[in-house]
Amino acid sequence: MIGAIDKDDFIINFAIDRIKDYRIMDKIAYREYSNGDINDRFNDLVGITLRKESKMEHIIIWVDDITFNYVNTKHITRFQTNIVGSEEKKLREQYPQLEAGHFIDLYTYVCELTGTPDDKFKNYELVRELSSYAGGLLVLSPEYLQNQIFDKISAHKERYSKIRT
């Protein structure tokens, strides 16, 4: 369910399947969205989660050659650019262990707030998407996002370890 929660037209999504309780409120008059096309709100997001505190941020990833073919034709974000030239050379020097592959800059909203890493909101859809490529994609920066994905993959490995014989 998509709607505004206050008078400034900031749109928020509510996962209907996770609503545990509700109350009927007084009738509220329908108001047209006044900030352009509502669909444009989702252009710069991975998923649908956007908080007022969110900001656009560069995410630098490395993808192996097989994953690159997929990510290059089905972009993760609208503002996705392949890193080439001197920037690529710097990254190759910084990460010599990453042979071949490609470096990509994803520019998208992240749900990051000021505070300690534990205080940062996670963009679960972004973490899920980036984790779905397994070892074919590595987040190089920002570090807090790299840590979130590392923790997710580590927990996944631990669960598998418990069921493998």
pLDDT given at position 17: 81
If pLDDT is split at 50, 70 and 90, which confidence band does 119 have?
Answer: very low
pTM of the model: 0.74
Percent of the chain with pLDDT over 70: 78
Q: Angle, nearest 10°, between helix axes 143-163 and 124-131? A: 60
Count of residues for the chain? Answer: 165
- Each residue's pLDDT tens digit, 6-33: 666 677 777 778 788 888 877 777 777 7
β-pairing, 102-110 vs 79-83, is antiparallel
- Each residue's pLDDT tens digit, 24-81: 877 777 777 777 776 666 666 666 666 666 677 899 999 999 999 999 999 988 889 9
Alpha-carbon distance 25 to 33, whole Å? 21
